[in-house]
Amino acid sequence: MEPSIAIVVSKQMLLDFGIILATGVLCGLLSQKIKIPDVVIFLFAGILLGPEITGLLQIKADSAINQIMLIFGSCYILFDGGATLRFRVLGEVWITIAVISTVGVLIMTAVTGIAAYYILGVPLIVGLLLGATVASTDPATLVPIFRQIKIRERVSQTVMSESAFNDAMGAIVTFAVLAIAMGAGGFSVKASLAGLLKQSLIGILAGGVLGYLAALLIAHEKYDFLSEYAPVVTLIAVIGAYLGADGLEASGFMAVFVFGIVLGNKGSFGFTMEPGEERKLEEYVMTTAFIMRMFIFILLGSQVDFSLMTRYLAGGVLVITIFMLIARPLTVFLCALPDRRANWSLKEMVFMCWTRETGVIPAALAGLLSGMKAPGNEMISSITFLAILLTIAIQATTTKWLARKLDLLIE
């Protein structure tokens, strides 16, 4: 009797999961030995496991399991990053975060789009579509890096917060430019700003309410009847925050990030957990976040299409070089320098210029553009993966070295 298709698919899925987990553990050990962020090794391990080389992993980018891992994994990593932020630090740098997460995305889009127009010879609107796709930074990369490398608090928390808050702006700009490129209408500044404000406020509200409710149920002096189930509460709330905000057409990623901030600052609301329960929750969150990032980056690496990427290799590398060395520094200095409240030093701004890895959100946007047959979608997918590979391989591996040179490490 032949097994059903469902059983065959389930066994293959279990095998894929086993390969990813085993590879991830080995990569984690290697990361500790050679002292570079584990996301870098995960990405290259995924390339080795993918169909382009060994073919051990065959999970397609548009498959349901891949989308589940990308969405939930990114959400949990964002929650973990939010939980490490502190209100006192955010109060000092909130102006920079707000400006760089909005105006900064527009600057990155414009500079990268113009570079693509001149270097690749594509129409300007297609170049701007590429710029918008890669403009947002990647919390799934940056949060784990700052978990492993201890950087001065206000710098690390600004970069992490930017990576969480700019995904909504990146998506809005991408689809606004797409509407023009596909002849579906002009760009409305008023409508776009209204959309951004709606996504931001509802996302913040959803995350804040769920964060407070979770803190109440696991850490209140009288109502902490779920304290023993705190790890499960975080899972439920992360899923609820993302789906709730998404259902209201707001930023689900922003909601889970704010949920993490509120839960991580529960002491500010007068909530405290027993030391043993607090430690158990922290260990669970760290382990789960580690598993999520190994799945995200091994899967992402396994889906790199080298045949497509090499088609635009020379021009793409040049565009990404301008993206890294001109667009990003211009963005940081224009957005952070005027913030007199934060009073950024030159060393801090130089570090922020270099630390802006590209990852899951741009990859997801590129995938959506491919599915919609957007103008230049093959070029955009190719250069987006180039941006992911180059920024993670070059910038992530040199983060600690640069922080030490700039005297920003916390020993």
H runs (alpha helix) in 121-188: 124-134, 139-148, 153-181
Provide the number of structural domains found in the chain.
1
**Domain-located, residue 88:** yes
Question: Is 50 contained in some domain?
Answer: no
Domain membership of residue 45 (yes or no) is no
pTM: 0.81
**Interatomic CA distance for residues 349 and 158, integer angstroms:** 11
Range of the domain at 200: 68-405
Find all residues with CB under 8 Å of 186, minimum gap 6, and list them. 179, 180
12 domain residue, yes or no: no
pLDDT at 53: 87
Report if residue 232 sits inside a domain.
Answer: yes
Q: Report the CATH number at residue 400.
A: 1.20.1530.20
Residue 218 lies in a domain: yes
Neighbour count for residue 64 (Cβ, 10 Å) = 8
Cα(42)–Cα(97) distance, integer angstroms: 29
Query: CB–CB of 99/162 below 8 Å?
Result: no
Specify if 287 maps to a domain: yes
Q: What does the pLDDT look like over 296-348, one tens digit per residue?
A: 888 888 887 788 778 888 899 999 999 999 999 999 999 999 988 888 999 99
224 alpha carbon, distance to own chain's centre: 32
- Domain assignment present for residue 10? The answer is no
- Mean pLDDT, the chain, rounded, equals 85
CA distance 110 to 103: 11
Written as six digits, the tokens of 162 are 């930017």
pLDDT at 185 exceeding the cut of 60: no
What pLDDT is stored for residue 184 in this prediction? 56
**pLDDT band at residue 45 under the 50/70/90 scheme:** very high
